[in-house]
Chain A
């Protein structure tokens, strides 16, 4: 080693104590002072466990069976508990994934920030307060004084993650471990928080170990990338080299799984739209207490939308934009307070004449394959259930259809007797899709169908979905916050903000020539990876040319762009 390493992990093996299964096998990596290193891998690759072991925070069921972890030249694995505690927080900080749960809900933000300072420094109370205020201001909290005496629930997810970052950075650690720090956040907020993290750590010379499944994000912000697969480090290299020329097959597979824009499809012209929504309004009733009544909230303000036969319309927007509510209203799960939904030229009203036809022809795929399947039913029973209401189908036809559909989604009929908990996330989502298409519906609503899945699985499911859509020609409303995915599947894109449609157009029009400011903000928030000839990828910033124009407008954007161009 020609340079002094901050963190050096060698031959680390972590074992599940009860079964003796190695979940992390003889991995080694190092982090230099001030360096930003990303660990990328899919769920179950052991990336989180490896990072937690650095702080001696592996869960009790996991035992370190071999290897050494040296931090600032000292061996972490043999440290006494007291020494380890001095290390945590003071020298190694951590930012967790879920900002909703990583702050103590019953403690004032001020006390939570003060906790670490009081423990690890000898500063007087006044000085600690001044430091906390200073740090809150630096992470972009508008009213630091007020924030100190507020509770976490009074802040949004993005703000909480900023506070979490502030509390980790207050002690100016030498290493910050960020475990999926922005996975739970909106695209636009995600960019702000990450850029803030990079800026802060750079200013303090703090090294960052960033764990993520999001390759584009890691590629964007790190100097070096470590790729983990099934508990092993399969490849390691500088971000540039690794992206340009991935050597290991798994890395290549990971990069190839990036969504990409396909050729524009021809949607055959049709005289009438398959599904039409006119001036749809949805209100959520306020909470009614015993003595008080809270005002309701209007979630959708008069939406007009038409989906042609065989067309895939994508609905994009940040959280709270109303995209899920619109999907649920069209599915009939939420009762609209105004407007109408028409299917095949007839209005759809619960109990009306068009209702039954619509119910049989409209199906939905949900986001979370872990909760959308009844845990007490077998796969066969789950897929067969929608056929119960099909008129004129014999039991034998139904059984045949179930087998046929299971094959279509790439599961053999052997799966029919299994239970959902015996299947992986990707297999479950296949079952959910099978259940949605088993009646051969003419319209499918997919609410974030791939956002709970790993990158490579996501690519498979998207391919499957496109194949089924092509084969059976159903129209589809595809709700997603992931613009890469939308770019791959959609014919037309509808952008929503605050319960209104702000822009809609063909995929190419929206992605290449966005008109509305919010669309541009969404598009520029997330970097994308673009395949290059030779198996590598290159980082592309959407709206590159335009982002430089806007960079001149605000000061903060300029600094962000400077980091980006580094």
Chain B
């Protein structure tokens, strides 16, 4: 057994801390994250409030923990939705080819032509700005790229002889796809999903920053960062801590994604 790569250890540690904070934040926080206390407005870090308080006197640490739950949950569900949808479309188009492929891919490419964030903005205007709207909008925005990648993998896999061997055996098309094609797509999908987790986290923060994210008073890292803008001169920590959370999580996810890619890539496995 090889020692785990250093990037896997560091990435895993960061993500571990975030996940623990998010899980904990869902059930317990030092102070109620929504409790307003005008007596303790804009307290600097240290003292009674470890990471200080915001313009309404709410505890920043508690809010960050609660936000972690929201942000991580949104990202997870969005990635899961995009990967599921994209994989189904990719498998259909890549394996069936023909008109299914042309019609679905034309639609897919049209979606890909819009920048993801712009597409999400448009969709949010329709769905309304809340948690589910964000998941739906971002999920839709990220599905096309998954579909593209899965389709490419399937296209090369379906020409491989083991897929033909399965057809000669008399297996149905569905069995062939589920048994031989899908499992061989997992390696690129894992890598894609981890990096997408990072993009979604950023997009969610960006949407919140633009005021189209989870509506206040519920905290997310994005809307905390957004509201800190007006107080940047008096309370710089309001922007620093959520910013740090976002950057560190991204770093962790990317490190973990790199490590996963190295482990799952058959070319790295050596024959």
Q: Is the CB of A421 within 8 A of B269?
A: yes
Residue on A nearest B159 in the bound complex, by CB: A371
Listed stretches A27-35, A385-393, A505-513, A522-530; interface member: A385-393
Interface centre among A359, A374, A421 (most CB of B within 10 A): A374
The answer to whether the Cβ of B160 comes within 8 Å of any Cβ in the partner chain is yes
A368-B161 contact in complex given A374-B180, A376-B183, A389-B171, C-beta closer than 8 Å: yes
Q: Are A376 and B168 in contact (CB under 8 A)?
A: no
Chain A residues with CB under 8 A of B169: 359, 363, 385-386, 389
Please state if A363 and B168 are interface contacts (CB–CB under 8 Å): yes
A331-B168, A366-B165 in contact; A371/B271 too (CB < 8 A)? no
Give the number of residues in A that approach B within 8 Å (Cβ atoms).
26
Asked if B184 and A374 make an inter-chain contact with CB atoms under 8 angstroms apart, the answer reads yes
Contacts of A43 in B (CB 8 A): none
Chain A residue at minimum C-beta to C-beta distance from B266:
A375
Contact of B184 with A332 in the complex, beta carbons under 8 Å: no
Could you say which of A356, A368, A371 contacts B170, with CB atoms under 8 Å apart?
A356
Known A332-B167, A332-B168, A360-B170: A373·B269 in contact at CB below 8 Å: no
Tell me which of B161, B167, B171, B266 has the highest count of chain A C-beta atoms within 10 A of its own C-beta: B161
- Let me know if A281 is at the binding interface, CB within 8 A: no
- B residues within 8 A CB of A432? 165
Q: Are B170 and A367 in contact (CB under 8 A)?
A: no
* CB-based contact A333/B164 at 8 Å: yes
Chain A proximity of B94: nearest CB distance (Å): 17
Q: Quick check: is A362 within 8 A (CB to CB) of the other chain? A: yes
Assembly CA distance A376 to B166 (angstroms):
14
Report the tally of A-B residue pairs with Cβ distances under 8 A.
Answer: 56
B162 contacts chain A at the CB level, 8 A cutoff: yes
Q: How far is the CB of A155 from chain B (nearest CB, A)?
A: 24
Q: Say if the beta carbon of A243 comes within 8 Å of chain B.
A: no
Cβ contact within 8 Å between A367 and B183: no
One of B168, B179, B180, B269 near A362 (C-beta < 8 A): B168
User: Which residues does chain B contribute within 8 Å of A363, judged by CB atoms?
Assistant: 168-169
* B116-146 contact mask (Cβ, 8 Å, vs A): 1 or 0: 0000000000000000000000000000000
CB distance from B19 to the nearest CB of A (A): 29
Which B residues touch A373, using CB under 8 A? 162
Q: Is A435 interfacial (CB-CB < 8 Å)?
A: yes
Q: Is the CB of A364 closer than 8 A to any CB of chain B?
A: yes
Contact across chains for A371 and B161 when beta carbons are under 8 A apart = yes
B266 to A333, Cβ gap below 8 A? no
Known: A371-B160, A389-B171, A421-B269. A376 touches B165 (CB 8 A): no
CA–CA, A376 and B179, complex, Å: 10
Given contacts A376-B183, A421-B269, contact A333 B160 (CB under 8 A): no
Complex CA gap A359/B184 in Å reads 25
Nearest to A447 among chain B residues (CB) is B161
Q: Is the CB of B161 within 8 A of A389?
A: no
| List of 10 A-B pairs having minimum Cβ-Cβ separation, nearest first | A359-B170, A372-B161, A366-B161, A374-B162, A364-B168, A421-B271, A371-B161, A386-B169, A376-B183, A371-B160
**Given A333-B164, A356-B170, A421-B271, 19 further pairs, Cβ under 8 A:** A331-B168, A359-B170, A364-B165, A371-B161, A372-B160, A372-B161, A372-B165, A374-B162, A374-B183, A374-B184, A375-B184, A375-B266, A376-B183, A385-B166, A385-B169, A386-B169, A388-B171, A389-B170, A435-B165
- A: residues with CB less than 8 A from B are 331-333, 356, 359-360, 362-364, 366-368, 370-376, 385-386, 388-389, 421, 432, 435
